[in-house]
């Protein structure tokens, strides 16, 4: 079997709130292969965001293993994990999560600042990324001066600026109207056709339909996939 991009083996996640233990994932096995486009579905509280956080190395499992390109990264120290995440993973969220007092261009540049790319180089790359997503006329707008769909495209440009191996999206159409949501889904689809590996969590049947495979979660367990 080829090496998965990310593999979860028996991943359990338990949140502790004082005395109370909240199990969010229970012994989840999952392989994400290069070129995959997976949609995680399931009721609210079923563990979709938790699973994305663990796949995206934003959080660690309570038990089980996370392999990144075959390497066990479960116990990597915080710095190494952050570096791997910064270079190899892009994130898009439901609320766009743009920095409000930065322009579109500055928001998209941000991941490159952390990678130490020169100002001139990152300006150039950020501008190209925004132009590719149809925002060439909006480079100097702040998030509050952009529509929801435009903000999500800025967020996508920011997620893609490092050319990540894995794009993770948590409810990327959750705050968009149907038409704007479809525009964003069309972009995801095109990105996957160009070879980008994508995992998204969604309640939106249209978003799930755009993916190449669907995985259903319930009470922190994978209930099966619908290819
Ligand atoms: N930081 C946290 N601390 C404690 N419990 C948490 C935390 N984050 C999530 N949970 C709990 O873990 C379970 C799974 O939550 P998660 O956010 O992964 O669900 P979800 O499928 O993404 O839901 P939604 O569709 O509403 O976004 C829920 O019971 C939730 O209350
Ligand atoms: Mg969620």
Ligand nearest to the CA of 47: 1
CATH number for the domain spanning 89: value is 3.40.50.300
Is 107 a member of any domain? Answer: yes
Pocket flag, ligand 1, residue 49 (CB < 6 Å) = yes
Q: Which two tokens stand for residue 208?
A: 């799930």
Is 52 a member of any domain? Answer: yes
CA of 16 to the centre of ligand 1 (A): 12
Report d(CA 214, CA 138) in Å as an integer.
35
Q: Please state the pTM of the whole predicted model.
A: 0.95
Mean pLDDT on 158-175: 96
Residue range(s) defining the domain that contains residue 43: 35-60+75-226
Report d(CA 154, CA 104) in Å as an integer.
6
Q: Which residues contact 115 (CB under 8 A, 6 or more apart)?
A: 86, 87, 162
Chain segment 192-205, per-residue pLDDT in tens? 999 999 999 999 99
pLDDT score of 136: 96
Is 30 a member of any domain? Answer: no
Q: Which residues contact 146 (CB under 8 A, 6 or more apart)?
A: 104, 138, 154
Is 130 a member of any domain? Answer: yes
Is 125 a member of any domain? Answer: yes
Hey, which residues does 72 pair with through a beta bridge?
Answer: 67
Q: 56: pLDDT confidence band, cut at 50, 70 and 90?
A: very high
Report d(CA 90, CA 98) in Å as an integer.
14
- Please check the confidence at residue 31 and state whether its pLDDT lies above 60: yes
Residue 105 φ/ψ, nearest 5 degrees: -60, -45
Q: 2: pLDDT confidence band, cut at 50, 70 and 90?
A: confident
* Strand 20-32 relative to strand 37-41, pairing: unpaired
Is 17 a member of any domain? Answer: no
Pocket flag, ligand 1, residue 150 (CB < 6 Å) = no
Pocket flag, ligand 1, residue 44 (CB < 6 Å) = yes
Q: Left if phi > 0, otherwise alpha if psi is -120 to 50, otherwise beta: which for 155?
A: alpha
Is 42 a member of any domain? Answer: yes
Q: 40: pLDDT confidence band, cut at 50, 70 and 90?
A: very high
CA of 116 to the centre of ligand 2 (A): 32
**Domain count within the chain:** 1
């Amino acid at each position: 079997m080829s090496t998965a991009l990310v593999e979860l083996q028996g991943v359990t996640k338990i949140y502790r709130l004082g005395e109370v233990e909240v199990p969010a994932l229970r012994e989840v096995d999952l392989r994400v292969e290069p070129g995959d486009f997976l949609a995680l579905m399931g009721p609210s509280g079923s563990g979709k965001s938790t699973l994305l956080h663990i796949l995206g190395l934003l959080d660690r499992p309570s038990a089980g293993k996370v392999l990144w390109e075959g390497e066990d990264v479960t116990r990597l120290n915080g710095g190494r994990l952050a570096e791997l995440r910064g270079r190899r993973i892009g994130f898009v969220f439901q609320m766009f999560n743009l920095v409000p007092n930065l322009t579109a261009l500055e928001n998209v540049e941000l991941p490159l600042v952390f990678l130490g790319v020169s100002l001139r180089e990152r300006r150039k790359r950020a501008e190209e990324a925004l132009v590719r997503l149809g925002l060439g006329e909006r480079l100097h707008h702040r998030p509050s001066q952009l529509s929801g769909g435009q903000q999500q495209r800025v967020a996508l440009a920011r997620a893609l600026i490092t050319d990540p191996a894995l794009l993770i999206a948590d409810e990327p159409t959750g705050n968009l109207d149907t038409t704007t949501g479809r525009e964003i889904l069309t972009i995801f689809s095109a990105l996957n056709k160009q070879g980008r590996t994508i995992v998204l969590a969604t309640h939106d049947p249209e978003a799930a339909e755009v993916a190449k495979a669907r995985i259903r979660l319930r009470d922190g367990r994978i209930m099966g996939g619908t290819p």
